[in-house]
Each structure stands twice: as C-alpha cells, then as structure tokens.
Amino acid sequence: MTTDEHPRIARSFRVEGRVQGVFYRASAHAEAARLGLVGWVRNLPDGAVEVLACGTVLALDTFEAWLWRGPERAIVTAVLAVAVPMFESASFEIRR
C-alpha cells in the first residue's frame, strides 16, 4: 500500500470530565504509541486534557473512541475534536 492510500491528518482534542489525576496522560500516550500516532498530550489549568495528534484517519478515529473511555478511573464527559494543519513530530510525548 502506498502512503496515498492512508493519508495522514491532524486533530486537536479537548477532553473534559475527571481526566486529571487518573493517569489519563500516561494512558493516552500508550494508546497513541500503539496506534502509531505522533503529537502530544497535556493537562490544562481548567482540569481538561488537551491532545494534538497526527496519523491516519482510521488511527485517529480509533484514538478518539479511546479518548471517550480513557483509563479505568477516568470519567469523560466531553471530547471536542477539531481538524488542524499537519505538523512535524517524531513521537508522541507527554507535556507538562
């Protein structure tokens, strides 16, 4: 398969609910790596989590579905997804 058959896109996500203090960032990092995504995840001062991810449409759709579940102790009430311009990154990282 060529790269054209699986074009890469980028999305920004805002995840709301009980998503801080429940290993959400670490779990999102592991899931993103499993799906071959690049980008980052970070906590926001208002208690939400922000994610910027780049990958195939299928991988990002799968990741978004995971973001709704999160780790066991998370209670996700909203996931807001927005298409964003492509960006360069070598990996997926946790930002502080």
Q: Give the tens place of pLDDT for each residue, 39-80.
A: 999 999 999 999 999 999 999 999 999 999 999 999 999 999
CB 31 within 8 A of CB 66: yes
pLDDT score of 4 more than 80: no
Residue of 11, 18, 25, 73 with catalytic role = 25
Determine, yes or no, domain membership for 95: no
The one catalytic residue among 8, 14, 18, 43: 43
In the numeric block, which tokens belong to residue 40? 């980052």
Beta strands in 1-96 (DSSP E): 8-18, 38-43, 49-56, 75-84, 92-95
Q: Kindly state whether residue 96 falls inside one of the protein's structural domains.
A: no
For this structure, is 42 an active site residue?
no
Which CATH number goes with the domain that contains 18? 3.30.70.100
What is the percent of the chain with per-residue pLDDT over 90, rounded to a whole number? 91
Q: What is the pLDDT of residues 6-33, one digit of tens each?
A: 889 999 999 999 999 999 999 999 999 9
Per the structure, the count of domains in the chain is 1
Query: Is 25 part of the annotated catalytic residue set?
Result: yes
Q: Is the pTM of this model over 0.85?
A: yes
Q: Which domain holds residue 46?
A: 3-86
